[in-house]
Every structure is written in C-alpha cells, then in structure tokens.
Amino acid sequence: MTIPSYVIEMLKKARARFDSGAGPQMLPSDAEFTTLRPVRTASLASVAKYWTRLRETASQADQDALADPLTLENPDRFSANIENFIGTVKIPVGIIGPLRINGLNAQGDYHVPMATTEAALVASYARGAYAATKAGGISTALLYEGVIRTPAFVFDSLLTAGQFVEWTVRHIEALKTAAEATTRYGKLTSVEPIIDNNVVFLICRYTTGDAAGQNMVTIATDALCHAIVADCPVPMKAWYIEGNFSGDKKASFLGLVTGRGRKVSASVTLPAAVVQKTLGTNVQAMLDYGQVANLGAHLSGQLGAQAHFANGLAALYLATGQDAACVAESAVGITRMEARGEDLFCSVTLPNILVGSVGGGTGLPSQSAGLNVLGLKGAGKAAALAEVVAATCLCGEISIVAAIAAGHFSRAHENLARHR
C-alpha cells in the first residue's frame, strides 16, 4: 500500500510543530487582551473604535474600502442586521433580462439583479433568459408554502413519548393560539409529530406572509414550546427549540419531499429554432447531455437532480437582501428536459425557496435597491419574488446544459473569466 505524499507532508509538519517544545499558550489576562463583546447599535464612534483595533493587520485603504462615506452617512441603519459593525462589502451586481414570466404571481418582463464575483455567471443566465423570452416566456407557479421549525422533546420511554403526542394532538388549538400570539403575519398551519422511541420531534409548519420568516417561526415555536412545558402533565427530561430535523440551512430529504419555504415550479418550451439560434446547439444534443447529467446526479447521491441552482440563488439572494446561508437548502430540487415534438421542454421545481420582500436584509440600502430594480419590494410581493427566483434558476439550467452539450463551457469561462 502506498501512503499519499500529502499525508507524509502533513506528518512532517505535525512532528516539527510538536517536537519544537512549544506548548499551548496560556489565556492572556484582561489587561493584555480585551475580547470584543457584541454591540448592536452602530455609530461613527463604534466604527472608529473597531478600526483602531484592526490597525495591526488592516490599512487605512482597507478601512476606506469597507467604511466608505456612503456607508458612514448613517451607520445606525445597519444595526438591525449586524453586530460589531465596521462597514459594508461591495459585490459586483449585474442584471439579466428582460426576462418574461407568465406566472400565477409574477407577470411581466423583469430585469433581475445578480450579485457575484464569478465572471461568466451573469452572461450565462442572461443567455438563458434571452432564449426563454424568445420562446414566449417562463410559466411559473407557487405551489405551496410552509416554513418549518422542529422542536424536540426527550422522555424516559416510548410510552411517555406516546402520551405526550396524544396530549399535544388534543391541545393543538391552544398551542396554535400561543404561537400566533407572537406574530401579526405568521400562521401555524400544521403540527406533525415524529416519534423515535423516547424522542419526539414536532414539525411546526407556518405561513409567513411576505417575510422569509426564519426568525418569525423561531419566536412563535418558542412560545408554543413554553405553553407545552407549562401545561403538559407528561414528565419530560429535556426540550430543544430545534431538533435538527427541519433542514434549516441544510440540504435534506425532508426539504426535497415536503418543502421548507416556498415551493415553485417553472417551465418553458424552447422551439428548435430558438435553441439553435440563441444557444448554439440543438435539442437532441441537450437531451443527450441531460441524460448523462441525470445519471451522474443519481450515482453521486444528489438530493434531487440539477446542474447549478446555487449559482443563481446565491447571486439573487445577495442582491435582494435574503439570508445567503439558506442557499444550502434552497438549492435542492429537480431539473427536467424532455422532447416535445421537435422542441425542448425545460422545467425546474424548487421546494425550498426562502425569500421575502419585507424584513431581514431587504431594508438595507443596496438590497432595497435590488428589489426595486425587480419592482418587487414591499408587502404583497413575496410570492412573485419566489417565482422570479425559480425562473432565474431555470435560465441558468438551460444555458449551462446548452454550453456543455455544445462543448462551449470551457471556452466561455476562458473568454469571460481568465482572459477577459
């Protein structure tokens, strides 16, 4: 058996490090070392204080880049979104479109902002949007919504776990009242118990109005759990606000099957002439590659089967003030491509789109501007925003499949990224 060279190198470094006689460092005294404590309210004074601390590693130019004059006009406006504020990061933003969408909620031609540092990404999505619009536009439908939180309760035995579930089912209306008392917009739509011997998970599913609703459902579920603890006669050993069952910011089978945010399906039928003229390939070539890619997805154990939802999701989430970490679960879904006569039917279904047109980061200056570019800021716009997100992902799937099928993928990245 051959030991890989990188293992040998790692062992050499470890031996040199630990043979040097250097032991673990003692914790410095408070006089030597002051740990940053979370500060919520940002001000010019607090920003200046933090940059003074950073002088050993960061230059004045670094400070000017992050704490620029526009950012410092009113630092307090960032206080609801971050602690220990020192500035803002500027990510390049491009647009694609107009992207025509014929949806249940999104109807019209949209210019979609995408924030990314990856060259060629916007060009690829723009090409997909052009092809889809030339074909008449993308049909979209919000199929379902329900953000979930899954508290866990621990008991002595399976018997007491069962008694707890029985009690919960009989008192569901009181628990619903306790949860909904914490929010003006959230509604508890179902509580689904899952028993694993002496541990019970409650799948608490909510609608969240026009907000993404992560904090909303956490606060509501906390109230529900406290109502249970106060009134349930079944003795419990412990309870936790989240039992790691919900799939929060993780790809999961639960999210793929039942969804954890807004479930959206989007589709378009591309005429053969559009495929040839706008994508530089043909329908059969895309179908042939799609068959191989689908096999690769199954063999590698993907949750779902798709090319690169995460690219479009991350770029659109960043541009519109969504929680970027939710891309981990939002990027689960299915892409389909099928022949329809001589034409190509393309669809995507994303069961976990976690977006809002209000709340969270949507009120920050740049992100608010991104939503305004879309025309989807404010109350009553979240369903349309979710459909735009799915349509954008479909554009990316169309473009990347066409590029790989035609053998243009590497060349495009070389021209637009490495040698631009």
CATH of the domain at 172: 3.30.70.420
Assigned token pair, 312: 């479009």
Residues 127 and 155 in one domain: no
- Residue 49 maps to a domain: no
Asked if residue 401 and residue 281 are part of one domain, the reply reads yes
The catalytic site residues sit at 118, 323, 413
DSSP 182-199: T-SS-EEEEEEEEEETTE
**CA–CA distances in Å: residue 55 to residues 43, 49, 50, 70:** 19, 11, 9, 22
Final residue belonging to a domain, choices 203, 225, 240: 240
Residue 43 lies in a domain: no
158 and 113 fall within a common domain? no
Domain termination residue (choose one: 179, 207, 240): 240
Are residues 290 and 410 both part of a single domain?
A: yes
Contact predicate 202/150, CB 8 Å: yes
From the list 270, 267, 297, 301, the residue with the least C-alpha distance to 286 is 270
| Residues 273 and 363 grouped into a single domain | yes
Same domain, 165 and 133: no
Q: Residue-wise pLDDT tens for the chain (420 aa)?
A: 688 888 888 888 888 877 665 556 666 666 656 677 777 899 999 999 999 999 989 999 999 999 999 999 999 999 999 999 999 999 999 999 999 999 999 999 999 999 999 999 999 999 999 999 999 999 999 999 999 999 999 999 999 999 999 999 999 999 999 999 999 999 999 999 999 999 999 999 999 999 999 999 999 999 999 999 999 999 999 999 999 999 999 999 999 998 889 999 999 999 999 999 999 999 999 999 999 999 999 999 999 999 999 999 999 999 999 999 999 999 999 999 999 999 999 999 999 999 999 999 999 999 999 999 999 999 999 999 999 999 999 999 999 999 999 998 766 555 666 566
Token readout for 20 is: 């040097």
Question: What distance in Å separates the CA atoms of residue 300 and residue 110, rounded to the nearest whole number?
Answer: 35
- Classify residue 373: in a domain, yes or no: yes
Residues 295 and 236 occupy one common structural domain: no
Residues 222 and 270 in one domain: no
Looking at the structure, do residues 170 and 229 belong to the same domain, yes or no?
yes
| Same domain as 304, residue 155 | no
Query: Does 405 reside within a domain?
Result: yes
Amino acid letter for position 220: A
Q: Tell me the pTM.
A: 0.92
Same domain, 319 and 236: no
H helices present in 19-120, as ranges: 44-53, 60-66, 69-72
Three-state DSSP state, 139: strand
For the chain, first and last CA: distance in Å?
A: 45
Residue 87 lies in a domain: no
Task: Give the amino acid at 290.
Answer: G
Is 7 among the domain residues? no
Q: What total number of domains does the chain contain?
A: 2
What is the domain range of residue 367? Answer: 102-143+263-418
**Element at 11 (helix H, strand E):** helix 5-18
Q: Is residue 200 part of a domain?
A: yes
- Note whether 195 and 271 are same-domain residues: no
- Residue at a domain's end among 240, 271, 305: 240
